[in-house]
Every structure is written in structure tokens, then in C-alpha cells.
Amino acid sequence: MKHTMKTKKQYGTCILLIMCTALIAWTATSCSKKRLTSYVNPLLGTATLWDSADIGYTPTHRTWGAEVFPGASLPNAMVQVSPVTLFHSGSGYQYEDTVIYGFTHTNKGHWNLCHVPLLPVTGEVSPNDYCSPYSHDNEEAHPGYYRVFLSRYGVNAEVTATLRCAYHRYTYQAGQEKKLLADLARSNERVREWSIAQEGERVFTGFQHAGEKIYFYAVSNHDIRMVDSLRHEQRIAPMLHFTEQGKNIPLELKIGFSFVSVENAKDNLAKEMEAKSFADVRAEATGTWEKLLSKMQVEGGSSRQRTIFYSSLYRAFLWPALRSDANGDFTDIHGTVANKGFRYYTDPSFWDDHRNKLVLLDMLSPSVAVDVIHSITDRGGKTGFMPTFFHGDHAAVFVAGAYLRGLREFDVDSAYHLLLRNATIESRSRPYLNEYMEKGYISEPDIAQPHTETQARAGVTKTLEYAYDDYAVALLAKALNDTSSYAMLTRRTSSYKNLFDPSTGLMRGRLENGEWVKNFDPYYPYYEYMYREANAWQSSFYAPHDVEGLIGLYKSRDDFESKLDSLFAVPWKGHEAYNFSGFIGQYCHGNQPDHNFPYLYYFIGKQEKSQVMLDSLMSHFYGMGKEGLALAGMDDAGEMSSWYVFNAIGLYPFSPADESYIVSVPLFDKVKVTLGNATSFNIKKENRGRKIAGITYAGQKVDGWFISHTALAQGKELVIAVDEAQ
């Protein structure tokens, strides 16, 4: 009997173990099949930092957050339909705000756009009093979908989108008249003119002309009873009144947009949305994002890390934005309607995004990258110079890097011709180029008491960036066998050395006569005096094409290491300025200029010191603040997000004009990356720690710290072995 009882007990234990094992396996399988879009939080980056410990100083006003929008869009789309809580703010949406003014249809996060604001309303409102309170408890955001409850009107508002169309669904309370306020006199930019008109029982059309002129064609599921206007002093706001089509049927609006014409907006609507339900469009948007996010599949890491990773990957693919219609039409920079067989996009935010985001675009969406190059080349062909953005000439970096990574489906000769003109003829693309070519640097005026807002030449930053841009154009010249231009440009790539001040160990402005700028304070931040949105510390280590040359400016490699240590150790001096926040010492992660400085320890044999910085930055400067929804600073159209994406997988385009990536310790145990040509390669981390013990690719040892895009495109496995003792 005892033997029998023991056997039964053992049998029961075995069954329990089998069931537990099956449950664990099922759970693991279920987790592995979890939709990647479910990790994405579009609200990440919408909050603002207020704590001085996070910012780096005690703020006297609101600091700039990531300035991102939480609304619905597809990758690199024309339409971004998103709530506005404050016009003339970065993206129009700030998490700390308590009211919503409407839902606009274009967005970047740079104090611009926000076209065609619409708001469902009830009862009596006026042009200066119509915003509705809302609560984050009754708000949700997902890739391609946004919902919020407008408490003033009792309306549940939902939006989703296709590439060129927006779908609104407003559920009103029973018995409430359905009205729509179209405040076309407002956007994030100055509105020049606008128009709206009813066409037929359920259609209204119009345009809004702010920085760009956008047309719309909207179809309602309810009859439009009338269109009138609310007036208050000089303010006029159109109001649409709808008839009730049935008990408690939500008001649905399908709106096509175009930067060409109302007719094209109507055509976009017909091709993308007209025959689909709200659920159809939302499901398609989710599927589109799932397909893109699936190009980077990770294993391991924490739930928080996966959320930040996929939220960052999502954010990286919202800009540049589409500007051509479904039929291929677009309006060029001269206002002429054209159709050239490619998708026409806005200019990228080159100053920010050449560093990493545009490389990510090359990798995962090469067809978009190619059409962006088509677009900027088209604009350059009409002005004689390749477009730039904000500062520097970084289209050169984008085009050269794309070409060296294997993108060939664009007119490289035309693009190169424009880039060479940028590099040799002074224009708005390269201000003060003549002085740079003559002296090897750009001088600064002698200003006795400069302050943060002083407007001058930003000569140090221009010199350093022009030297790197010259390197990028030189790479393209070499690839295209233009040997004379290659030699000329290569000579100029050392120009950064002309502004190195040995007495301070930092880059310093020179006056026109060659003397150093007086009253030099390396800790003081400037927007445009000597440095562009930086101080001397945040500018002085920028020579990604020639780190050995940079190190050679110091007395020894130990001296260089000591200076790097000071960069990350000497405290920020408490200066308050927009675009400066999130510090480790003098290093500022809240802005772009120094984002590749943490890797410099690699070049003196101290890779593990770089990894300490990378781990700290990923851990502390994403998902910040009391809500966990802030970043260290502006996302700048996806640059901050892309920085995280690359470092989380253990690769970074240290010199984005080159095709190689520097290898670091990834957050995740395994990563599968599917390139735009459908080739996949894997990244595997072995062991834990910060010191890399060895790197292999396809079973072969990798010498040094870099792996080429060409090698990765072969579709093998990159193994990063880590020394557990470190």
C-alpha cells in the first residue's frame, strides 16, 4: 500500500510538472507572439521635465520636452492627426496641459504645421472659448490610433489615418446636437488665408494656407444642415451643423488631404479610405506599423526597455513627411504642380537626423530614403544648391552614406553635382564658405559681452561641421572617380584643427585677424556665438572622420582621456537655456551636438568606459519624469529616438557618412534585423557585463570595433562576447 501510495504521489507530481512546463512554454510562446505595436507608447516624449535633478539646473520657465505628438499617423505619411493642447508649442501637444483645442492634420514637433484644426462641440461656444478639458485617465494612444474623451461636450473622440487621409469618429451623448468647429484661422504657423464650403448634402471642402497650402475634401456620414461662422471681435471660426441620421449614431468624417488641389484630395480619399470602415482603417494602420516594427525583433531585456525601444523605433519613422498625392502629383518649391514618378517628401531635419535617424531610414525603408534623395535633388535642381536644414551642409552626409550602403536607385551624378556646388560656392547652404576655404576656419566677430542669445556666425561649429561635410562629399567623389575634387576636399577635412586651442584643450573661436576670441568661458552656452546650441565642451570633440587626428592635438593619449573624463565629470554650471537639459557633467544628452562623444573612449582602448556612459544614458534619459513619459530633450524628428534604437541593438553610425557601425554591448540578448531588401542578420550577446571580449561575424573574428553595412547585408550572425568579470 505504501508503495502504491508513493507511486501515485510521484505520478501526480509528474503530471503537475508536465502541466507547469506546458504552461511556461505556452506563456513564452504567447509573449513571443505579442504584437510589437502593443509595446509602443506614442505618449512617450510628450511630458516635460520639471525636476532640477533631471534638467541640470533650476528652471524659471517650462523647459523644452521632446516636443512629440501622440496622434495617429502611418510611417512617413502626409497626415498626422493629433490633438492640440496649445497652439504655437512644439508639437501642439504638451502632456501637462489640461485642455484640447482640436485635432490637426500635420505635425513634426518643430513649432510649425498643425493644419486644419477640427473640434466636435455641442451647445454654445465662441471663437475665443471652445477648448475642452480632458483627462489622461480617459485618453489612449496607439500606432495609428488616438482616443480621448472631451468632457466639456461629452464627446468620445477617435481618430485614425491612412497615408493621405484622416478618419474621425465622434460619439456624442444622446440628444446632443452634432456640431464641428473648424478654426481655420489657427495653426502652429501664421495663417495667410483659408476657405471652407459645403458641397452637396454630406461633403465640405476647403484649404488652409500657412507655411504650406493644404487642401481638404471631407465626407460625413450625417447630412450637413448648414455651415456658418462664429465671430468675436476679429476672430472668425467656421461651424458645421449636422442633422441626426439615427439614434446615437456617431459622427464620422473621412477627410482626404493634398498639397496640390481639392480634386487631388478627393482622389486620395477615394483611393485610400472612402470604402472602408473606421475599424478597417485602424486595423490597416496597426498592420502597417507591425510590419515596420517587425524589422527589428528583440529577445531579452526588461519590459521597460522593450517599451522604450519600440516606442523609439516608431517615433523614428514619422518624419520626413509625404507631400505627393496618390496619382504622383506634388507642388514643387516654385509652386508648380509636377509629377516625376517618385514620391515627393519634405526635407529631413538634416542637422539633427544625419547623425543616426537617416541611417535607420536607409537600413529599414530604403525606398523612402531613395525618394527623399529624389525630392531634395529636385529642389536643389531649381535653386542650384542642395537643401540644408538649420545648420551645416548635412545632406552631403545623408547622400554619401546612402550611396555607400548600397542605395543606387537615384541620380547620384545630379545629387553629387549639387553637393559639390554647396562645397565650393558660397550660398545660403554654406554661409561664410569663402572665408572657410581661404583661412581654413570661420571667424567670429569681437563681441565684448556675448550672451546666450547673441546672434553671430557660430564659426567654431560651422568650421567643424564643414570639415566633416567635406569628408562626406569626398567619399562620394572617390566613389565616382572625381579624383581632383576628392583631393581638394580631403585637404579641407583637417580644418577643424585650426580652432583647437592648446592652452584650454578645447575648440575656441578665432577673430578675423586670427587671434583667439577674448573673455572665453568654455562652460557658457550659446545659440549662435562660436557654437551652435552648445558650449565649448559640447563642441570640441567633433571630428568623427578623424578621431586619431583629434587625439593627436593633445599632448598624449592619456591627456586626451583626462579631457574626456572631465567632459563627463565637470558639473554643469547651472546655466538655464532652451535646448540644454539632461547632463552627465558637461555632456548634454538633451541636444544633438555631442551625441557621438561617448564612443571616443574606444579609440584609446577603453571601450568599457564608453559602455558605462551608453548604459547610463539609455537607463536615465528615456522615460524620465514623474509620469515616465519625458526624454532628456527634444526628439528633433526622431534623432533622440534613433540614438536609443541603435545603442539598444549594439550598433551605432559613429561616422554616418561611412557605411560602418561601431559595435557596443546591446541591451538585448538577441536581435534580428531585416533590412529593406528583406535580408536579415542577427545580433547575439554572450554573457553580461560592459567590456567586450571579442566580436565575430559569420564565425570569423572581427578586428577592431567596426562592422560594415556590406558585411551585415550578407545576412549572417554578429556575436558580441562580453567579459562577465567587468
Q: Encode pLDDT of 327-359 as tens digits.
A: 999 999 999 999 999 999 999 999 999 999 999
User: DSSP character for 596?
Assistant: T
Q: How confident is the model at residue 10 (pLDDT cuts 50, 70, 90)?
A: very low
Q: Encode pLDDT of 434-454 as tens digits.
A: 999 999 999 999 999 999 999
The span from the CA of 338 to the CA of 347, in Å, is 17
Find the mean pLDDT for residues 276-295: 98
Q: Which residues have CB under 8 Å from 36's CB, separation 6+?
A: 290, 293, 294, 297, 310
Q: Check pLDDT > 90 for residue 24.
A: no
β-bridge partners, 680: 674
Cell of 128: 475665443
Greatest CA span in the chain, whole angstroms? 105
Q: Encode pLDDT of 541-588 as tens digits.
A: 999 999 999 999 999 999 999 999 999 999 999 999 999 999 999 999
Kindly tell me the sign of the dihedral angle through the C-alpha atoms of 645, 648, 650, 652.
Answer: positive
Q: How confident is the model at residue 285 (pLDDT cuts 50, 70, 90)?
A: very high
Contact in structure between 145 and 103 (CB atoms under 8 Å)? no
Q: What helix, strand, coil percent values describe the chain, rounded to 5?
A: 30, 25, 45
User: DSSP character for 532?
Assistant: E
Burial label for 232, CB within 10 Å (0-12, 13-18, 19+), is exposed
Residue of 156, 149, 150, 151 lying closest to 170 (CA atoms): 156
Residue of 676, 663, 667 lying closest to 715 (CA atoms): 676
For the whole model, what pTM was predicted? Answer: 0.94
The span from the CA of 216 to the CA of 193, in Å, is 14
Antiparallel, parallel or unpaired: β 330-331 and 337-338: antiparallel
Determine the Cα angle at 422 with ends 538 and 321, to 5°. 75
- Owner of C-alpha cell 561641421: 465
Contact in structure between 551 and 563 (CB atoms under 8 Å)? no
User: DSSP character for 705?
Assistant: S
pLDDT at residue number 1: 30
The span from the CA of 596 to the CA of 573, in Å, is 22
Residue of 40, 36, 43 lying closest to 625 (CA atoms): 43
DSSP string, 150-211: ETTTTEEEEEEE-SSEEEEEEEPPTTPPPEEEE-TT-SSS---EEEEEE-SSSEEEEEEESS
Element at 369 (helix H, strand E): helix 366-383
